[in-house]
Amino acid sequence: MKKYLLISVVALLFITTLLGAETVPAGNIQPQAKQTSTVQAPETNNNFYNMGRGVVNLTTCWLELFRCMVYRNSEVPFWGFIAGAVEGSGLTGMRAFGGVTDVMFLGFDIGSIYNDQFQDFVWNSKWIPKSSLQDARKAEEAGN
């Protein structure tokens, strides 16, 4: 039985290799156009994408707390840490709620809460503000 299974698998691999190979006569080879972009944006209006987003957001919603604390603390050193904890707690609940609704409704988009301010995933959000804000703060401190 194992012998027949092995022969079948080898034959199947051989046939798929032959069918997948493209033979072109030497005189008919045309140069291929180069692709400018190899990365394609994911289709966000897809049930599987939305359900995956829900599962990921349920497992990573707690990172929102630390993200906000880091982001706000880099803007305002001490008070940003406290404000970031408050903001992060709210966004953690919001991300968890979004994950629950994505999974509960099987990925059907019933009015998404995700936009430019609240990204699909926590790693797409801003973790550190633009350097121009930090440079302005350093210049202000140097002036005082």
Give the C-alpha separation, 102 to 53, whole Å. Answer: 7
Residue 13 lies in a domain: no
pLDDT band of residue 55 (cuts 50, 70, 90) is very high
pLDDT band of residue 29 (cuts 50, 70, 90) is low
Q: Is residue 84 within 8 Å of 73, Cβ to Cβ? A: yes
Instruction: Mention every residue, 6+ apart, whose C-beta is less than 8 A from residue 64.
Output: 88, 91, 92, 94, 95, 122, 125
Residue 96 lies in a domain: yes
Question: pLDDT of 117-138, one tens digit each?
Answer: 888 888 888 888 877 655 666 6
Residue 81 lies in a domain: yes
Residue 93 lies in a domain: yes
Structural domain for 76, as ranges: 44-109
Orientation angle between helical segments 131-143 and 63-75, nearest 10 degrees: 40
Q: Which residue, among 32, 98, 87, 85, has the nearest Cα to 59 in the 3D structure?
A: 98
Residue 62 lies in a domain: yes
Residue 40 has pLDDT above 60, yes or no: no
Residue 23 lies in a domain: no
Six-digit token string for 74: 């880099």
Residue 74 lies in a domain: yes
For the segment 56-69, the average pLDDT, to the nearest whole number, is: 92
Domain count, the chain: 1
